[in-house]
A = this chain, B = another copy of it.
Amino acid sequence: MGSFKVLGSRVPRTDAYDKVTGRALYTADLVLPGMIYGAFVRSPYAHARIKKIDVSEAMKVPGVVTIITQENLSRDYALVIEEEVHAAQQVRGLLAGEKVRYHGEKVALVGAETLEAAKEAAALVKVDYEPLPAVTDPREAVKEGAPLVWDDSQPVTAPDGSLLYNVVAEDHRSEGDVDQGFAESDLVYENEYYVHRVHQTYIEPQAAVAAVDERGRVTVWSSTQGHFVVRSNVARSLGIPLSRIRSIGMTVGGGFGAKFGGVVDLYAVLLALFTKRPAKIVYTREEDLLDARPAPGLYIRIKTGVKKDGTILARSAFALWNVGVGGGALWATGAFTRLYNIPHTKWDAYEIATNTPPMGAYRAPGYPQVLFAGETQLNQIAADLGMDPVELRRKNLKAEPGFFETLEKVVEKVGWFQREKGEWEGWGIALGHWRNASSPAGCIVSLDEDGTAKVYTGLMDLTGTETAVAEIVAETLQIPYEDVTIVRGDTDSAPFSPPSGGSTVTFSVGNAAWRAAQDLRQQMIQLAAGQLNALPDELVVADRKIAVKNDPERSLSFAEIAQTALRSPSGPLIGKGSFGGDPSDTNIFVQAVKVKVDPETGKTRLLRCVQALDVGRVINRTQCEGQAEGGALQSASWALMEEMQYDEQGRMINPNLADYRIPTAFDVPDMETILTEFPSRHGPYGAKGIGEPPITAALAAVASAIGDATGYWALEAPVTPERLALALATRQPVRAR
């Protein structure tokens, strides 16, 4: 590839100044005239029948404006919106009706003049519960006699003929013939792995503000990864015509997949509809941990057949996803087969309802869980075969662009085959991967009178993607990054944009922006050709001007071109780009870690963390490294710390950041990151989405390093100090229950 002017640089993020100076406006910063505050009445039980809700005392609290329960919601909703909408049936399930099904579930919603009054009233709502037995572990939930989360649930028959209870969805896939594959194998390994549910623990809790005007037009401000998704969710969930909803994305303090709407935004809209006043709901940390959209847990049994030389012949999996009262995890199950040449594969996956909150997406949804199992098992097999784990990968890895090269970069950087370790130290390596989503997106790029460019999109920027889009435009127009202004529009005016998730937006909005910039560039060249009396292909674009190649004195600055356009029939120069979603390519992520275990306390410390990521094309080097390192750390945290813990009654016992641990600066080793560039066929300048892959490898890498350090292979994540110390003391595999 040619050399780049802007791509590959380390320009500061577009949002950097506003964030470091405190100018950035978050949803919680919004105060609207006459605004009321929402507070929820939440279930203290994981499972219970609601016998009665009495709001009479609560309504007496001064400042209380309304209290919404599912009963009055179902009854009155048609009245608060235009009758034509007939949406009463669509608002079921927003609040608990006859039953609560998880600890912290929303039972009622108080709207009051102040947050204090709302909370006081919420505490005074009397709910008469009849507690029911609860289940939070999918391994228990599938058993006969387990509490049924959904009353109408029917058991399904598993491949082994047993009955599985609480199944809400299932999927079965196979290629080749695994039975034949296992039969032809020299050795067949079967292991069970378990990953607890974890929470995205973004810095900014869920927050939304809503207002309804006299015409019934709804405006929603929210902390979201996709304001267009919020709009369609509100429309669908509340039966409001799409065009009567304006969704405004505010600055977002992290999302990691949990901020696609539905957690607080719908409720802010309900309050606004019921009271005709603006309404604000901001979660506390406890509410967020109890009742948001954490990742699903996973029980998975993986069976792998290999030849003695390490050649993998067959792999199968039986998976139970703990989806809480939600769903949507099945599709990730196949992630364990993707990177390797395996003739025979099969998986049977089930979504299991439990008395825990509905699952949501979490960075590379499902991949950390599945690859914890898949990659850890490969390391166990290598150890059993007396093979180096890298050799096992080299033997089986698919020959796709960048797979081998990215692996070898880590091998080289670590000095893998000369690696050393001290007492209680160990090394682990694992591979992860992702293929970014490719989504429809639009973008407008126009040239201002001073020759600078402005970009208008509907892109929600959580991770620097706006910077990436600005760089793509600058590169395409051959102007400095500083000459590009990028603005996010709301759903009333911005071109359609996909939500920021699945590593989609640099690829998708980036492509739309590239097309818009190309469109603009063509118009500029056309205009300049006319003005300079030259053919378009005699012109060269550089240094903020367009010049005749062989006569560089004949040139027009970008400012002159923009101003000339305003005086010419063409009018203002506006480039438009629409992208419909071309196929994307997998990028590989390779991570090697060195750990040291304290055998007495069971505490594992990361000593080195070396990772290589195929980014397709480096748009912004600092941000690529940031994504790689952030993901590596986040998954190491899954490996060692993070777990939503439930007691026997199904109540979450650690809904706070003192007990739900996430890493601090003290937990972070020096990160060594290598970026490789194997261009995506359709990515803008070859770029691949890079948000997801870095979280997919560390669970297995860390667990395997612990295995290397201690001889004990963790089969359950997280490998907390307690679990590891107990395992080492009892010489049992690190495994729950």
Say if the beta carbon of A23 comes within 8 Å of chain B: yes
Q: Tell me which residues across on chain B come within 8 A of A581, comparing CB atoms.
A: 567, 569, 571
Q: Tell me which residues across on chain B come within 8 A of A376, comparing CB atoms.
A: none
CB under 8 Å from chain B, chain A span 439-466:
440-442, 444, 446, 448-450, 452, 454, 456
Q: Tell me which residues across on chain B come within 8 A of A418, comparing CB atoms.
A: none
CB distance from A526 to the nearest CB of B (A): 12
Given known pairs A23-B213, A574-B576, the reply for A450 and B241 (CB within 8 Å) is yes
Say if the beta carbon of A318 comes within 8 Å of chain B: no
Contact between chains at B242 and A454 (CB < 8 Å): no
Q: Tell me which residues across on chain B come within 8 A of A440, comparing CB atoms.
A: 565-567, 571-572
Contact between chains at B572 and A441 (CB < 8 Å): yes
Say if the beta carbon of A483 comes within 8 Å of chain B: yes
Say if the beta carbon of A578 comes within 8 Å of chain B: yes
Identical subunits present: 2
In the assembled complex, the Cα of A581 lies from the Cα of B565 at a distance in Å of: 11
Say if the beta carbon of A522 comes within 8 Å of chain B: no
Question: Looking at the complex, which one of B241, B493, B576, B579 makes contact with A576 (CB distance below 8 Å)?
Answer: B576
CB under 8 Å from chain B, chain A span 470-512:
483, 485, 487, 489-490, 492-496, 512
CB under 8 Å from chain B, chain A span 534-587:
565-574, 576, 578-582
Contact between chains at A492 and B487 (CB < 8 Å): yes
Among A444, A570, A571, the one with the most B-chain Cβ atoms within 10 Å of its Cβ is A571
Q: Tell me which residues across on chain B come within 8 A of A495, comparing CB atoms.
A: 444, 446, 572, 574
In the assembled complex, the Cα of A570 lies from the Cα of B17 at a distance in Å of: 36
Say if the beta carbon of A243 comes within 8 Å of chain B: yes
In the assembled complex, the Cα of A441 lies from the Cα of B569 at a distance in Å of: 11
Given known pairs A565-B580, A572-B496, the reply for A449 and B232 (CB within 8 Å) is yes
Q: What residue in chain B is nearest A573 (Cβ atoms)? A: B578
Contact between chains at A485 and B243 (CB < 8 Å): yes
In the assembled complex, the Cα of A232 lies from the Cα of B448 at a distance in Å of: 11
In the assembled complex, the Cα of A576 lies from the Cα of B568 at a distance in Å of: 17
Question: Looking at the complex, which one of B213, B215, B456 makes contact with A493 (CB distance below 8 Å)?
Answer: B456
Interface of A is mostly: loop
Contact between chains at A579 and B571 (CB < 8 Å): yes
In the assembled complex, the Cα of A649 lies from the Cα of B565 at a distance in Å of: 49
In the assembled complex, the Cα of A567 lies from the Cα of B215 at a distance in Å of: 32
In the assembled complex, the Cα of A169 lies from the Cα of B550 at a distance in Å of: 46
Q: Tell me which residues across on chain B come within 8 A of A512, comparing CB atoms.
A: 571
CB under 8 Å from chain B, chain A span 240-254:
241-243
Q: Tell me which residues across on chain B come within 8 A of A490, comparing CB atoms.
A: 487
A side interface size, CB within 8 A: 50
Contact between chains at B243 and A441 (CB < 8 Å): no
Say if the beta carbon of A21 comes within 8 Å of chain B: yes
In the assembled complex, the Cα of A232 lies from the Cα of B563 at a distance in Å of: 12
Say if the beta carbon of A214 comes within 8 Å of chain B: yes
In the assembled complex, the Cα of A235 lies from the Cα of B449 at a distance in Å of: 11
Question: Looking at the complex, which one of B21, B241, B446, B569 makes contact with A442 (CB distance below 8 Å)?
Answer: B446
Given known pairs A440-B566, A492-B454, the reply for A578 and B582 (CB within 8 Å) is no
Q: Tell me which residues across on chain B come within 8 A of A493, comparing CB atoms.
A: 454, 456, 485, 487, 489
Question: Looking at the complex, which one of B456, B485, B569 makes contact with A580 (CB distance below 8 Å)?
Answer: B569
Contact between chains at B580 and A448 (CB < 8 Å): no
In the assembled complex, the Cα of A495 lies from the Cα of B572 at a distance in Å of: 7
CB distance from A546 to the nearest CB of B (A): 18
Q: Tell me which residues across on chain B come within 8 A of A580, comparing CB atoms.
A: 565-571
Contact between chains at B243 and A483 (CB < 8 Å): yes
In the assembled complex, the Cα of A567 lies from the Cα of B578 at a distance in Å of: 12
Given known pairs A571-B581, A578-B570, the reply for A444 and B441 (CB within 8 Å) is no
CB distance from A173 to the nearest CB of B (A): 24
Q: Tell me which residues across on chain B come within 8 A of A242, comparing CB atoms.
A: 448-450, 452
The digit string for A195-215, where 1 denotes a CB below 8 A from any CB of B, is 000000000000000000111
Q: What residue in chain B is nearest A453 (Cβ atoms)? A: B243
Q: What residue in chain B is nearest A211 (Cβ atoms)? A: B23
In the assembled complex, the Cα of A69 lies from the Cα of B112 at a distance in Å of: 50
Q: What residue in chain B is nearest A243 (Cβ atoms)? A: B452
Contact between chains at B567 and A213 (CB < 8 Å): no
CB distance from A498 to the nearest CB of B (A): 9
CB distance from A213 to the nearest CB of B (A): 6
Q: Can you show 20 pairs from A to B with CB atoms below 8 A apart?
A: A17-B214, A17-B215, A21-B214, A235-B450, A242-B450, A243-B483, A440-B566, A440-B571, A442-B446, A444-B444, A444-B574, A454-B493, A456-B489, A485-B492, A487-B493, A565-B578, A566-B580, A569-B580, A571-B581, A572-B578
Residues of chain A touching chain B, judged by Cβ–Cβ distance below 8 Å, are 17-18, 21, 23, 213-215, 232, 235, 241-243, 440-442, 444, 446, 448-450, 452, 454, 456, 483, 485, 487, 489-490, 492-496, 512, 565-574, 576, 578-582
19 new A-B contacts, CB < 8 A, other than A243-B452, A571-B581, are A17-B213, A17-B215, A242-B448, A242-B449, A243-B450, A440-B565, A440-B567, A441-B572, A442-B446, A444-B444, A444-B456, A454-B492, A485-B492, A485-B493, A487-B492, A489-B493, A496-B566, A568-B580, A569-B580
Nearest 8 CB-CB pairings of A with B: A571-B578, A487-B493, A571-B580, A496-B572, A242-B450, A442-B572, A243-B452, A569-B580
